[in-house]
Amino acid sequence: MVAASVAALRQTVGGWRRQGLRVALVPTMGALHEGHLSLMTLALERADRCVVSIFVNPTQFGPNEDLDKYPRQLARDLDLLAGAGVHLAFTPSPSEMYPEGFATTVRLGGPALGLETDFRPTFFDGVATVVAKLLLQTLPDCAIFGEKDYQQLCVIRQLARDLDIPVEIIGAPTIRDTSGLALSSRNAYLDAVQMVVARRLNAVLVEAAAALAGGDGPDSILVRAKRDLIGAGFRSVDYVEAREALALGPWRGGVEGRLLAAAWLGNTRLIDNVPIPARS
């Protein structure tokens, strides 16, 4: 089943709610891969009905980013959703989501500060605004987001808490290929040589996280991780940073942390993150 309007989405979900069914939402921008399908599997385990939104959200792209070339393959995505047992695809147009006169932006502090925001200053305003809309349009019992976009997951948890949106936000583990490369729609931009380099990203982070957990000096580990990424063939590194795992404040050991990174391969920007176990 497909709904292209908010009214049609609400009608279907409203019917389910009247039957007492539990509803899960999986927000996506389409170009679906195994990583997305794992979110849907989790949604179907946690709810009776699963809604997947497919919307390439223009407000989260900066002026020089890849909005125009972002992969769009709706017919293929709808086939995948049908095969995955998803009950409803919500496929709004930009004008359905942002009608003439739209003038509201949700802006967050806390976990939105630093990391991605230092390099994509309006990214989380766009994400928070569209996710707030999707949650309020669907009113699901739970919504699933991948840990691949770890800062985004923390931002969305904060958003739901701060705006009292009655939904359980569930984080799902990152799906990786056999080399450890996190699956991402943007991997489609990489050529064969770049794929080899991309596969080093996770290995460098895992090694650095182990060194951090072992108590070595964090500054030198982070410098070395950046140097290793450049040595592997990345064009530049936006950040490799250790943060406290829940609120993303500075990590000082003793608690669980997260090591997060963003790096460029040609014109493609890849992000990844790994846990830093608490030091015993």
Chain residues that interact with ligand PAF, rule: CB under 6 A: 27-29, 57, 60, 127, 130-131, 149, 152
Closer residue to ligand PAF, CB minimum distance, 47 or 127: 127
What is the smallest separation between the CB atom of 127 and ligand PAF, expressed in angstroms? Answer: 5
- Whether 152 and 144 have beta carbons less than 8 Å apart is answered as no
Rounded Cα distance, 154 and 256, in Å:
14
87 is catalytic: no
What is the smallest separation between the CB atom of 250 and ligand PAF, expressed in angstroms? Answer: 25
Return the H-helix or E-strand segment holding 75: helix 74-84
Task: Give 113: exposed, middle or buried? Use CB within 10 Å, 0-12, 13-18, 19+.
Answer: middle
Closer residue to ligand PAF, CB minimum distance, 186 or 224: 186
What is the smallest separation between the CB atom of 152 and ligand PAF, expressed in angstroms? Answer: 6
Closer residue to ligand PAF, CB minimum distance, 30 or 218: 30
Rounded Cα distance, 89 and 79, in Å:
11
Question: How far, in Å, are 16, 125, 133, 168 from residue 109 at the CA level?
Answer: 35, 10, 19, 20
Rounded Cα distance, 145 and 172, in Å:
6
Active-site hit among 9, 31, 36, 257: 36
What is the smallest separation between the CB atom of 113 and ligand PAF, expressed in angstroms? Answer: 18
Which has the closest alpha carbon to 51: 63, 40, 66, 36?
40
Provide the annotated active-site residues. Answer: 36
